[in-house]
Amino acid sequence: MSSERYSRQELFTPIGKSGQEKIVSKHVLIIGAGALGTASAEALVRAGVGTVTIIDRDYVEWSNLQRQQLYTEENAERRTPKAVAAKNRLQEVNSSVNIHAHVMDGNIEELESLITQGVDVIIDATDNFDTRLIINDLAQKHQVPWVYGACVGSYGISYTILPGETPCLSCLLDTVPMGGMTCDTVGIISPAVQMVVSYQVTEVLKLLVEDKASLRKKLVSFDLWKNQHTMIAVDKVKKADCPSCGEQATYPFLAYENQTKTAVLCGRNTVQIRPAEGMKRSLDAVAESLRPHGKVEQNPYLVSLTMDEKRLVVFQDGRAFIHGTNDISEAKTIYYRYLG
């Protein structure tokens, strides 16, 4: 590797050569490989982070290409799983980084297994609060810092959560309105994505070089179209009795009864169904059984069955997407009809 590769980063005094050595030795977990996840992953891989682990349950679609920067038209045509497509591109960007890609939902057991493999920082790049609350409890339980981020329309928000020091996401939810809009209901522009990523990645770099004194202590939000920018001090909202980060924490979002087995996906007119127990399906066998029922397409990671206005997509880990409905009961009917 050329000694010049990180020279400009090393010239930046808060990082320097010693900071770069720390960056190369660290491990970042990125949960979600959509707009925030792909941009964060590329920035960190270019910065030389030693190990980057990416987890995502979805595959590339045409609507992703407007803002999810690692993907191509070929990925959308092939419905390549996002984690796989991201890894392939990132390896071309920097072959010296260890990149691990996981095509899976990220339930509690899966996330906990990844977090306990020496992860130094977690980046939130998800599209739902169910997963974020699980991340929050796992981060508190295992004392791993994480950086929250979200964006929709021209609006974005970010906050750095340090277990044992700052308010956690559960504390914030009682005080700071997070909104209920999604990119599928009000749209999104890519500059909003890049702005959130800039905040998230900068905080991650501070953590990786162990410069905690420079961390932003406030929650930041902005609206690029309306030329608004706000920094909110939230340190006083930390609760001693918070069930997620308080003195007697019980981590409620890790309880079995709070685990989601079905989920409507972020305004996409799609329901995900995940088996209660992990399983591995033979995609060849699934494709063969589905062939009489409609148009079947297959790649190494999934099988897709199109039936009139509905589409059933089955992954190796037993998960299924039912496109064309937001009705969980209807989705379950389709799932059991074709998969038993």
Q: What CATH number was assigned to the domain covering residues 261-339? A: 3.30.310
Return the domain boundaries, the chain. Answer: 7-256, 261-339
Confidence of residue 336 (pLDDT cuts 50, 70, 90): confident
Global pTM reads 0.84
pLDDT at 264: 81
Pick from 67, 130, 150: nearest CA to 264: 130
Q: Name the percent of the chain lying above pLDDT 70.
A: 93
* pLDDT-derived band at 122, boundaries 50, 70, 90: very high
Contact by Cβ (8 Å): 178, 157? yes
Q: Where are the alpha helices (DSSP H) in the chain?
A: 7-10, 16-24, 35-47, 73-78, 82-93, 108-115, 129-142, 169-173, 183-186, 190-208, 283-290, 328-339
pLDDT at position 331 over 70? yes
| Common-topology check for domains 7-256 and 261-339 | no
Lowest mean pLDDT across 102-111, 131-140, 179-188, 250-259: 179-188
- pLDDT, tens only, 238-250: 999 999 999 999 9
Distance (Å, whole) CA 232 – CA 160: 12
CA distance 337 to 307: 13
Assign 117 to helix, strand or coil. coil
Residues 74-110: tens digit of each pLDDT: 999 999 999 999 999 999 999 999 999 999 877 888 9
Q: Are 25 and 73 in contact (CB under 8 A)?
A: no
Q: How do residues 144-185 score in pLDDT, each as one tens digit?
A: 999 999 999 999 999 999 999 999 999 998 766 555 566 756
Assign 127 a pLDDT band (cuts: 50, 70, 90). confident
Write down the residue that tokens 């970010």 correspond to: 158
Per CATH, is 7-256 categorized as 3.40.50.2300?
no
